[in-house]
Chain A
Amino acid sequence: MSTAGSPRYPRRRARTAALLTATTLLAGCAGAGDLAGGDGRTRLTVAIVSNPQMQDAIALSPRFEEEFPDVDLEFVSLAENEARAKITASVATGGGEYDVVMVSNYETKMWAENGWLTNLQPSIDASPEYDHDDFIPTVRESLSYQDDMYSVPFYGESSFLAYRADLFEEAGLEMPARPTWHEIAEFAEILKAPEEGRVGICLRGLAGWGENLAPLNSVINTFGGRWYDEEWNAQLTSPEVREAVQFYVDLVREHGQPGAATSGYSDCITRYSQGQAAMWYDASAMVASVENPADSLIVGESGYAPAPVVDTDTSGWLFTWALAIPETSEHKDLAWEFVSWMTDKDYQRMVGEEFGWPRVPPGARESTYEIPEYAAEAEAYAEPTLNALASADELDPSVSPVPYEGVQFLRIPEFQDLGTRVGQQISAAIAGSVTVDEALEQAQRYAETVGQTYQK
C-alpha cells in the first residue's frame, strides 16, 4: 500500500469504515456508481511486472490517489515470468482478483477474442485529451482486436543492432545502413579481441520464449523460415529454419560470449555496457542501460543499426507492455481512470521531471519523441527506436505466408510453453550438448503436437 503523504489514522479509520460498509457497497460498485456514496472507498488491485519503469509508476502512484482520494491502490508486482503465470491463470479462470493487469501484445488479441478483457475503445473515444491517435500505429494495431483497443501501451520496444562505433572506426569498417546477417558475422570475426576480453557479438542463449527465442525468431523469419506452413504443418526442420538456427548457433559459438547457453538479456546488458562485446543485437529497451552513465562504461560510443536482414526488408520485432482491465473487474470506471493516468502524455512528463528523462517509458507514444528534453537526451537512439517500431511487421513476419501473427513469438496460446521448450533445445545446441539437427528434430516434434490441434 502506498499511503505516502497522508496521516495514518484517518486512513485507517476510513478503511475500517470501508470494511463495515463493504457489504452494502458490493451491490452498488459495479458500473458507474463508483464515485457515488460519500464514504465509499474502492480498492483497485493492479497486477504489474516489476521492471524499472513500472517501479517508477508505483512510486508515482500516490499522485493518482491524491486525484482520487476514495481509491486505494494495491500493487501486486512480480518478476515477468511469475507475473505472466499469475495473471494468465487469474484471467483465464475468471478469478477476478485484479482490476488492472499488465499484459503484452502477445496476450491482448487472444484474450480479447476470448472475451476476457474489457473493450477500452468506448472509454478512449470518450476522452479526446487522451489522444489515442498519438500511439505508434504498429503498437496500437498490435493491441487491437477488430479495430478496438483492449489494452493501452505503457511502453513499446523493437529490436536493433547496437555496435561500438569507435571500434568500427579503428578497424576501418563501416556499418551499412541496412546490414545483412552475413555482414554482421564478418564484422564479429574481425572485431573480436580475446586478448582484451572482448567478443564479436553478444546474442542471447538463455532458454525461454521471451529470452533466446526472441532474437532467434527474428533471424528465422528473415532467413525465410517459418514455424508452420499455412496448413499448420510444423516447419522447424525445413532447410530455411535449419540454416537460420545453424547460423545463429555458429555465430554465437564462434564469435559470441562464453557461457552463452545461460546468458540472457541482462547478461548481455552487462557485457556490452562493460565494453566486452563489439556488437549486440537485442531489444531497443537496452538503451536505458547502455546510455546510462551509472551502469555503462561506453556511454555515447554506440551506433544503432536496424535489425540485420537476409531475405526480408525488416526483421525487427515488436513488443509492448500494456495495461488492460479484465472483464471480471467490478470497478471498471475507476480502473480506466488509473490505466489512462499511467499511459497518458502527462505521465511521461511527470516521470521526466521527477526521475530524469532517460527513465521515460519509450516506444508507446509518438509525442514522447517530440518532448524537447527527451529528444535531446535520446538523440543517439530515438530515431532508430522509432523506425524499428514503425517497421515491425507482425502480420507478415517471414518470406512465405504464415497462419499466425507475431515476429518474435507466435500469437497462439500454446506458444509460451512451446517456445520455452524449443528455446531449451536451442540452448542445449549452443552449449554443444546436442547438435542443431537433434535440437530441431525434438523442436519439430513439440511443434507438430501443437500444430495438430489447429488442423481441423
Chain B
Amino acid sequence: MTTLDATTATGPRPPTSKQRRAATRKQGWARRAPLLPALIFAIIVTQLPFLLTIFYSLQSWNLVRPGSQEFVGLANYVAVFTDSTFRTAALNTVLITAGCVVIAMLLGIGLAMLLDRPFRGRGVVRTLLITPFLIMPVAGALLWETTIFHPLFGLLNFVLSPFGVDSVAWVSQFPMASIIVALVWQWTPFMMLLVLAGLQSQAKDQLEASATDGATAWQTFRLITIPHLRRYIELGLLLGSIYVVNTFDTIYMMTQGGPGTDTTNLPFYLYQRAFLGFDVGQAAALGVVVVAGTIIVATVALRMIFRTFGREEA
C-alpha cells in the first residue's frame, strides 16, 4: 500500500471504503483468531472421520475378509433402504424416543407440581427423585433387568404374586414396554428438574390475582401455569429426544435388540452391523443415513427452540 504511506504523511484523512473494509476484516480476524484452534480441532475430530465414513460407505469391505475391499458406488445405500430391518429399527427408534420422552415429561410435570409446594422433608424427596438420573445407564438397565423384571427373582413378579401374576418373563414378553419403562425411570428426573425451574420462576402475583378472581386450581393450572411452562416443556422434549434417540446401553443390557429385532433401534443396529458383522461398508452407509436423518430432525428441533426463545424476547 504505497499510496497509503504517501497520504499518512500529509496528515489524517477520512479512510476510504476500501480501508474501512480492510479494517473491519482485520477486526473480524482478530476476533476469530483465538477461536481458530478450537475450530480446526473440531473439524479434525468430527469432520475427517465423517469424510472417511462416507468414503467407506462407498466400499464393499468385510473386515474378516482381507482383500475384499472394493468400490461399489451407492450399492450399500440401496441395501440400507431396501432393508426391512432398517425400517423396523427406524420405527423402533421413533417409538422408543417419543414414548419415553412424552411419558417422562407427563410424570415430570406431575412430580414438579408436587415439589413446587413447601412441605417437610422436601429436600430429601427432591434428592431421591433426582437419583435415577445420576445412576449410570448401564447399571440402571442391569438393575431393571435382573432385580425387577426377572421372571424368577424379580421384584415385580414378587409384588404381583398376590394377584395371581407370577413367572411372567417381562423383558421377553413385553420387550418394548420394558425398555421404555426403564428409560422413563431414567429420564423423568431430567424433565422434572426443567419443569421445576419453570415453576419456580412463575410470578407469584399472577397466581394470587387468579385466586382473587375466583379461578379454581385447575383453571389456574390450565390457563396460567401451562402457558408459562410451555417453553420449558418444549426444551425438555427437545433435549430429551436428542439424548434418547442415541440410547444404546439400556437396549444392549436388557434385550440385545431382541426378541428378533423387536427392540433394535438404529444405534444398536449400527453396532450389530459394525462390531458383530464386521461389514464396514454397509455399517458406514447406515451411519451416514442415520446422521443425515438426525441432522434433519435436529435442525427442525433447534429451529423450534430458537423460535420459542425469540418469541420470549420479542
For B57-69 the 0/1 string (1 means CB < 8 A from A) is 0001011111010
Known contacts A85-B275, A413-B278, A417-B273, A424 near B64 by CB under 8 Å: no
Are the CB atoms of B258 and A262 closer together than 8 Å? yes
For B271-293 the 0/1 string (1 means CB < 8 A from A) is 01101111100100000000000
Q: Complex: how many Å from CA A446 to CA B173?
A: 28
Q: Complex: how many Å from CA A445 to CA B173?
A: 29
Are the CB atoms of B84 and A414 closer together than 8 Å? no
**Residue B260 interfacial (CB < 8 Å):** yes
Known contacts A88-B64, A262-B172, A414-B62, A420 near B279 by CB under 8 Å: no
A448, closest chain B residue (CB): B79
Q: Complex: how many Å from CA A100 to CA B46?
A: 37
**Residue B220 interfacial (CB < 8 Å):** no
**Residue A53 interfacial (CB < 8 Å):** no
A434 CB → nearest B CB, Å: 8
Are the CB atoms of B275 and A424 closer together than 8 Å? no
Q: Complex: how many Å from CA A93 to CA B63?
A: 8
Q: Give the residues in chain B near A446, CB-CB below 8 Å.
A: 83
Partner of B259, one of A84, A114, A207: A207
**Residue B146 interfacial (CB < 8 Å):** no
Q: Give the residues in chain A near B65, CB-CB below 8 Å.
A: 412-414
Known contacts A92-B63, A414-B62, A424-B85, A85 near B261 by CB under 8 Å: no
Are the CB atoms of B260 and A427 closer together than 8 Å? yes
Q: Complex: how many Å from CA A424 to CA B87?
A: 14
A212, closest chain B residue (CB): B260
Are the CB atoms of B278 and A417 closer together than 8 Å? yes
Are the CB atoms of B68 and A442 closer together than 8 Å? no
For B65-86 the 0/1 string (1 means CB < 8 A from A) is 1101010000100010011110
Are the CB atoms of A207 and B260 closer together than 8 Å? yes
Are the CB atoms of B84 and A88 closer together than 8 Å? no
Known contacts A207-B258, A207-B259, A417 near B279 by CB under 8 Å: yes
A445, closest chain B residue (CB): B82
Are the CB atoms of B259 and A427 closer together than 8 Å? yes
Known contacts A89-B275, A417-B276, A417-B277, A110 near B64 by CB under 8 Å: yes
For A75-108 the 0/1 string (1 means CB < 8 A from B) is 0000001001100110011000000000000000
B84, closest chain A residue (CB): A442
B260, closest chain A residue (CB): A427
Q: Give the residues in chain B near A400, CB-CB below 8 Å.
A: none
B65, closest chain A residue (CB): A413
**Residue A431 interfacial (CB < 8 Å):** yes
**Residue A345 interfacial (CB < 8 Å):** no
Partner of A453, one of B60, B83, B260, B276: B60
Q: Complex: how many Å from CA A431 to CA B75?
A: 31
Are the CB atoms of A424 and B261 closer together than 8 Å? yes
Interface size class of B (residues with CB under 8 A): 20 to 34
* CB neighbors of B among A437-452 (8 A): 442, 445-446, 449, 452
Are the CB atoms of A81 and B68 closer together than 8 Å? no
Are the CB atoms of B64 and A420 closer together than 8 Å? no
For B36-65 the 0/1 string (1 means CB < 8 A from A) is 000000000000000000000000101111
What number of A-B contacts does a CB cutoff of 8 Å give? 78
Q: Give the residues in chain A near B260, CB-CB below 8 Å.
A: 207, 261-262, 424, 427-428, 431
Are the CB atoms of B277 and A416 closer together than 8 Å? yes
Q: Give the residues in chain B near A410, CB-CB below 8 Å.
A: none
B55 CB → nearest A CB, Å: 18
A252 CB → nearest B CB, Å: 14
Are the CB atoms of B83 and A445 closer together than 8 Å? yes
B290 CB → nearest A CB, Å: 17
Identify which of B63, B68, B70, B278 gathers the most chain A CB atoms within 10 Å of its CB: B278
**Residue A421 interfacial (CB < 8 Å):** yes
Q: Give the residues in chain B near A427, CB-CB below 8 Å.
A: 259-260
B82, closest chain A residue (CB): A445
**Residue A216 interfacial (CB < 8 Å):** no
Q: Complex: how many Å from CA A207 to CA B175?
A: 15
Are the CB atoms of A416 and B258 closer together than 8 Å? no
* CB neighbors of B among A176-229 (8 A): 206-207
Q: Complex: how many Å from CA A453 to CA B83?
A: 18
Identify which of A417, A418, A452 gathers the most chain B CB atoms within 10 Å of its CB: A417
B261 CB → nearest A CB, Å: 5
Q: Complex: how many Å from CA A92 to CA B278?
A: 10
Are the CB atoms of B62 and A413 closer together than 8 Å? yes
Are the CB atoms of B276 and A81 closer together than 8 Å? yes
Identify which of B64, B65, B273 gathers the most chain A CB atoms within 10 Å of its CB: B64
Are the CB atoms of A416 and B276 closer together than 8 Å? yes
A419, closest chain B residue (CB): B277
Identify which of A89, A110, A413 gathers the most chain B CB atoms within 10 Å of its CB: A413
Q: Complex: how many Å from CA A435 to CA B85?
A: 15
Q: Give the residues in chain A near B82, CB-CB below 8 Å.
A: 445
Known contacts A88-B64, A413-B62, A414-B65, A206 near B277 by CB under 8 Å: no
Q: Complex: how many Å from CA A114 to CA B79?
A: 27
B145 CB → nearest A CB, Å: 15
Q: Complex: how many Å from CA A89 to CA B275?
A: 8
Q: Give the residues in chain B near A88, CB-CB below 8 Å.
A: 64, 278
Q: Complex: how many Å from CA A89 to CA B278?
A: 8
Q: Give the residues in chain A near B275, CB-CB below 8 Å.
A: 85, 89
Are the CB atoms of B68 and A416 closer together than 8 Å? no
Q: Give the residues in chain B near A452, CB-CB below 8 Å.
A: 75
Q: Complex: how many Å from CA A126 to CA B83?
A: 52
Sample (20) of A-B pairs whose CB atoms are under 8 Å apart:
A89-B278, A92-B63, A110-B64, A206-B258, A207-B261, A259-B172, A261-B259, A414-B277, A414-B279, A417-B276, A421-B85, A424-B261, A427-B260, A431-B260, A442-B83, A445-B82, A445-B83, A446-B83, A449-B75, A453-B68
Residues of B within 8 A of A (CB): 60, 62-66, 68, 70, 75, 79, 82-85, 172-173, 258-261, 272-273, 275-279, 282
Q: 8 extra interchain contacts, Cβ-Cβ under 8 A, other than A413-B278, A424-B260, A453-B60? A: A84-B276, A207-B260, A413-B62, A414-B62, A416-B276, A420-B276, A431-B259, A445-B83
Closest 6 CB pairs of A and B: A417-B277, A262-B259, A413-B64, A427-B260, A413-B65, A442-B84
